[in-house]
Homo-oligomer: A and B are copies of this chain.
Amino acid sequence: MKAMVVGGAGFIGSHLCDALLAENNVVVCVDNFSLGTRGNIKHLLGRDDFILYEVDVSKETDLEAVFEKERPDYVFHMAANSDIQASASNPEVEYRNTYTTTFMILSCMRKYHVGKLFFASTSAVYGDKRDILLDENTPNLEPVSYYGAAKLGSEALISAFSYMNDIQALVFRFPNVIGPRLTHGVIFDFIHKLTQNPRQLEILGNGRQTKPYIYVTDLVRAILQFKDTEHTGVTLYNAGVSGATSVTTIADIICEEMDLKDVEYRYTGGESGWKGDVPRFSYCLNKIHAAGWKAEYTSDEAVCRTVRDNLAQRDR
């Protein structure tokens, strides 16, 4: 099939392109290179089955031209501002890059009769429900970040477009996704800070923020596994991992992998790393496990592998 991956040069998107190509699909990669990089897809450039468009998907006419030319069978919508902390001071980024991209993609799918969508949603749609085991039926979704709000708004759009245009939509709500090609977040930041100053590490919050981290190849495997399941309307899964990892544990793992001893941790204090951060949450994974998928790596293992990936990347 011909698969359009919007945000295909991004962190998760580029791994998805790899996996779709490995399954002999033609991939139409669309990216504006705001967060995605050419480096993430450089190994794919020049292949006959990989077509790249540098397009800002929040502009409908530009995106329409790609749909008109390529007529994809399936759209994987991975485009978003993925840096929640950054958009806290500029919500317009989420309006444009996270919500408007969804609206424009759905409008093009409606116009060109594309019947299959995968959408990368997030645990941030739930808001701060730290004492509830979150499942797909949890009520009262109250996002506390602009990112979570734009993703929940996108889910709402998908619901209506799916109903009105008979689009089959598969939606995963991810927790933190980590692995090779990661561009931001706590692991990335800590390694950067410790490279600058190996004796001291500033940690936002009290370090007890504890979240599940999923390894990117586990997630991509889930997308591939469920992408062709026939269903009507929208099918939603919490796609997560066993366990959760605290920010202090992440610091400990990084120090160990970097072979640093006696690093002084300086906590900025408070339960959250920044306003809009949800300090801890737990996912009920019964639905996706019952459907036949389970992550290979636990949260701690995912963190450990990602630290090694990142250090190896830096050494290259």
Contacts and interface: CB of A to CB of B under 8 A. Distances in A.
Contacts of A145: 160, 164
A243 interface: no
Give the contact-size bracket for chain A.
Answer: 35 or more
A153 B164 contact: no
Interface string A259-285: 000000000000000011000000000
A213 interface: no
A163 B144 contact: yes
Contacts of A91: 103, 106-107, 110, 160-161, 164
B137 A140 contact: yes
Copies of this chain, count: 2
Contact of A159 (B110, B136, B144, B154): B144
Nearest to A233: B142
A153 B148 contact: no
A93 to B, nearest CB: 12
A156 B143 contact: yes
Contacts of A99: 99, 153
The 3 closest A-B pairs by CB, nearest first: A153-B153, A139-B139, A149-B160
Given A146-B164, A153-B153, 9 more contacts: A99-B99, A136-B140, A139-B140, A142-B163, A143-B159, A145-B160, A149-B156, A152-B152, A160-B276
